[in-house]
Amino acid sequence: MNETYAFIEAEKTTHDVAFLCRLLNVARSSFYAWRSAARARSARKAADDALAHEITVIHVKSRKT
């Protein structure tokens, strides 16, 4: 479903969002909810990436034990 919403986001400059949602059979409210949650998803991904990096550093420092 994320691909559908990403497509609508990319095409909204050339077509109306309501038209695209009707064409792709998704609710406009779902698209706007997905879009408003993008900042939270981005922050979560950044936090996950930072944690993964920290875990990798600790693992390497412990001689991979």
Q: How many CB atoms lie within 10 A of CB 34?
A: 18
Decide if 55 contacts 29 (C-beta within 8 A): no
- Contacts for 12 with CB less than 8 Å, ≥ 6 apart: 20
- Among 33-37, 54-58, 61-65, the minimum mean pLDDT is found in 61-65
pTM: 0.68
Q: Which pLDDT score, from 0 to 100, does residue 65 have?
A: 84
Residue at token pair 């990319």? 10
pLDDT tens per residue, range 4-51: 999 999 999 999 999 999 999 999 999 999 999 999 999 999 999 999
